[in-house]
């Protein structure tokens, strides 16, 4: 994309003037406006592997396989879940602005990249979705230390309705023994993955120095890399074996968490779409109740460790994502985003 002198990718996509919605009139204009919220969704490595086509009365949602992560995520499970998080944001924004939103998964089954069709209408808006709207702008992935505080019963109850969707479910694990064993699995996953040159080379391609003008990838500061060395962060990750320090740090964060969370379901595309939508609802609800989360997904992508997570979580279907949740008071860390114009399918 063209670089403009006063364009700050970290800020601009989040600075949405809601009142501008009143100036758009056709359903197509409204759908395009709602995409401003869809692009704020989270995605693995912040690759933003989505594209959208405007249909006149809604949006076609596509997976952008040119943005896949072949080493970190060879089966594209996280890619599909990432696209699904943007569908949830679309639903929420539609509801907030008073629109009904009909989502169909895989509307043309032979078309692998077309993941969903979204039809908007002036009908009945979904109020449960609209309630999550404020969190769309304030959600972020907090990889820093949290307060040493257990999950409160009140918050567990608030999160309850956000732990199942279709075939996808969330297990919230608070007991110390299981959390300790899962922390060991996280340690093993980090030791293996971060010592793998192909993995760190791919990861380094998605790490951005703090002053980057790119609109995708993860800022070094968001990963806990000090600002002084952020300029050389991709080189550090590519060149040095940081597996031991990463494993030690992440397993300690897992042990200290208020709870670990296993999002699970089957591996079919439809199930992954449900899992991604459940993820976004859950982390938006967490944001809403002033809680934080971060991911530990490296072990989930290794078959032997995935099986261990499955057994520790006591589930019959497949672990898809592993997260910690907790409390803290850290201000939001910036994240990069591509603009709506950049993600519209030609
Ligand atoms: C499916 C999925 C998997 C993710 N896996 C990881 C992970 O293993 N480790 C990590 O630090 N962040 C992970 N993330 C978080 C993304 O890196 C993060 O969403 C992205 O950088 C954008 O930042 P934001 O969430 O603060 O907007 C994942 C996100 C998604 C949606």
Domain ranges of the chain: 12-139, 153-326
**Per-residue pLDDT tens for 60-76?**
999 999 999 999 999 99
User: In sequence order, which residues have a C-beta less than 8 Å from that of residue 38 and are 6 or more positions away?
Assistant: 50, 52, 59, 86, 87, 89, 90, 93
Of 4, 7, 5, the C-alpha closest to 336 is 7
**Per-residue pLDDT tens for 121-158?**
998 989 999 999 999 999 999 999 999 999 999 999 99
Beta bridge partners of 219: 208
314: left (phi over 0), alpha (psi -120 to 50) or beta: left
Which of 17-21, 168-172, 228-232 shows the highest mean pLDDT?
A: 168-172
Atom of ligand 1 nearest to the CA of 40: 27
Token pair belonging to 312? 């520790």
Residue 335 in this model has a pLDDT that exceeds 70:
yes
Q: Mean pLDDT, to the nearest integer, of 226-254?
A: 94
Centroid of ligand 1 to alpha carbon of 45 (angstroms) = 6
Residue 260's SS3 state is strand
Q: Mean pLDDT, to the nearest integer, of 323-340?
A: 94
Length of the chain: 346
Within 13 A of 196's CA, how many CA atoms are on the CB side?
Answer: 14
User: Which CATH architecture does the domain made up of 153-326 adopt?
Assistant: 3-Layer(aba) Sandwich (3.40)
Centroid of ligand 1 to alpha carbon of 44 (angstroms) = 5
Residue 19 in this model has a pLDDT that exceeds 70:
yes
- CB-based contact 324:254 (threshold 8 Å): yes
Centroid of ligand 1 to alpha carbon of 117 (angstroms) = 24
Nearest residue CA, atom 10 of ligand 1? 295
Beta bridge partners of 58: 119
Judged on CB neighbours under 10 Å (0-12, 13-18, 19+), 110 is exposed
Domain 12-139 has CATH 1.20.58.760: no
Alpha carbon of 7 to those of 130, 239, 298: distances in Å?
A: 30, 32, 34
Residue 100 in this model has a pLDDT that exceeds 80:
yes
pLDDT of residue 213: 87
Query: What is the model's pTM?
Result: 0.96
pLDDT band at 12 (very low <50, low <70, confident <90, very high): confident
**Phi, psi of 300, deg, nearest 5:** -65, -25
Q: How does strand 218-219 pair with strand 207-208?
A: parallel
The alpha-helical segments, DSSP class H, found in 194-231 are: 197-204
Whether 12-139 and 153-326 share one fold: the answer is: yes
Rounded to 10 deg, the angle between the 176-193 and 243-255 helix axes is 160
Of 70, 20, 16, the C-alpha closest to 44 is 70
């Amino acid at each position: 994309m063209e670089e403009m002198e006063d364009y700050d990718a970290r800020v601009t996509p989040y600075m949405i003037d809601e009142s501008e919605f009143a100036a758009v009139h056709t359903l197509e204009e409204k759908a395009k406006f709602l995409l401003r919220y869809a692009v704020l969704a989270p995605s693995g490595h912040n690759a933003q592997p989505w594209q959208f086509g405007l249909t006149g009365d809604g949006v076609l949602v596509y997976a952008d396989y040119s943005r896949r992560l072949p080493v970190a995520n060879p089966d594209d499970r996280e890619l599909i879940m990432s696209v699904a998080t943007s569908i949830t944001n679309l639903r929420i924004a539609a509801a907030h602005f008073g629109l009904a939103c009909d989502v169909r998964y895989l509307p043309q089954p032979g078309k692998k990249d077309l993941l969903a069709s979204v039809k908007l209408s002036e009908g009945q808006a979904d109020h449960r979705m609209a309630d999550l709207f404020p969190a769309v702008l304030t959600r972020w992935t907090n990889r820093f230390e949290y307060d040493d505080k257990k999950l409160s019963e009140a918050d567990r109850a608030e999160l309850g309705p956000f732990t199942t969707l279709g075939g996808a479910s969330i297990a919230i694990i608070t007991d110390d023994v299981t959390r300790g064993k899962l922390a060991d699995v996280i340690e093993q996953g980090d030791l293996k993955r971060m010592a793998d040159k192909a993995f760190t080379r791919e990861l380094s391609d998605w790490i951005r120095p703090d002053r980057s003008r790119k609109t995708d990838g993860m800022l070094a500061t968001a990963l806990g890399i000090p600002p002084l060395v952020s300029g050389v962060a991709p080189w550090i990750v590519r060149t040095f074996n940081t597996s031991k320090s990463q494993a030690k740090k992440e397993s300690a964060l897992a042990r200290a968490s208020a709870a670990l969370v296993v999002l699970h379901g089957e591996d079919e595309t439809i199930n992954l779409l449900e899992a991604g939508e459940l993820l976004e609802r859950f982390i938006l609800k967490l944001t809403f109740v002033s809680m934080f989360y971060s991911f530990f997904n490296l072990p989930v992508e290794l078959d032997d460790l995935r099986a261990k997570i499955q057994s520790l979580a006591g589930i019959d279907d497949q672990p898809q994502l592993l997260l910690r949740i907790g409390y803290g008071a850290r201000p939001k860390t910036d994240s990069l985003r591509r603009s709506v114009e950049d993600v519209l399918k030609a």
